[in-house]
A and B are shown apart, each in its own frame.
Chain A
Amino acid sequence: DQQVKQNSPSLSVQEGRISILNCDYTNSMFDYFLWYKKYPAEGPTFLISISSIKDKNEDGRFTVFLNKSAKHLSLHIVPSQPGDSAVYFCAAKNTNAGKSTFGDGTTLTVKP
């Protein structure tokens, strides 16, 4: 039972353009959503999060949008930079439980 899904295993964009990474979830008990970035040989690094009481959270070049009715969230990176090339994991949790449930990840490649 895959509760968090990232249907695109990879995404390639030109430097300066927008990157949009998508994530879907099935468990309606999730109320906190996170995006992590992972470089090879490193652990996941927290990027940005959103609570279920919001529909948008912005931090610099990164914006996360949440559509609760569709159980869908997306991460927008504008403008994309070559250093953004990494694997991006969507994760979800219920704030009454500690664990996060991760998606499969999307490998983003930003071409110069």
Chain B
Amino acid sequence: EPEVTQTPSHQVTQMGQEVILRCVPISNHLYFYWYRQILGQKVEFLVSFYNNEISEKSEIFDDQFSVERPDGSNFTLKIRSTKLEDSAMYFCASSESPRVLQPQHFGDGTRLSIL
């Protein structure tokens, strides 16, 4: 069964450094998402991306965050200047279409630790 893959599984970064989290969505999916889960808290929506542009973003997704689809297969989340509170599990997800009753399929996440 096709799956969403995320790399790396664990990223340790010094505060203030830039970090890029990578995702390969399912190949025929058109809609991509990033969510995060701070330890012990709920899964929170960050951003959705369709047709090479952001469709929707949450208040968490401020100017420090950006997303990109640099080629036909990868989908990346960049945090420009990391803060301690950015430490979390970051999940990438994809779906065939947001306007059809289709679930989002999630990767196994990248654990981001900011020191």
Contacts and interface: CB of A to CB of B under 8 A. Distances in A.
User: How many of chain B's residues touch chain A, expressed as a range?
Assistant: 20 to 34
Interface residues of A, number: 23
A44 B91 contact: yes
A94 to B, nearest CB: 9
Contacts of B22: none
A98 B55 contact: yes
Contact of A43 (B45, B56, B95, B107): B107
Contacts of B44: 102
Contacts, number: 61
B50 A46 contact: no
21 contacts: A32-B101, A36-B106, A42-B109, A43-B107, A43-B109, A44-B91, A44-B106, A46-B104, A95-B101, A96-B98, A96-B99, A98-B31, A98-B48, A98-B98, A99-B33, A99-B45, A99-B48, A101-B45, A102-B42, A102-B43, A103-B42
Interface of B: 4, 6, 31, 33, 35, 41-45, 48, 50, 55-56, 58, 91, 93, 95, 98-101, 103-109
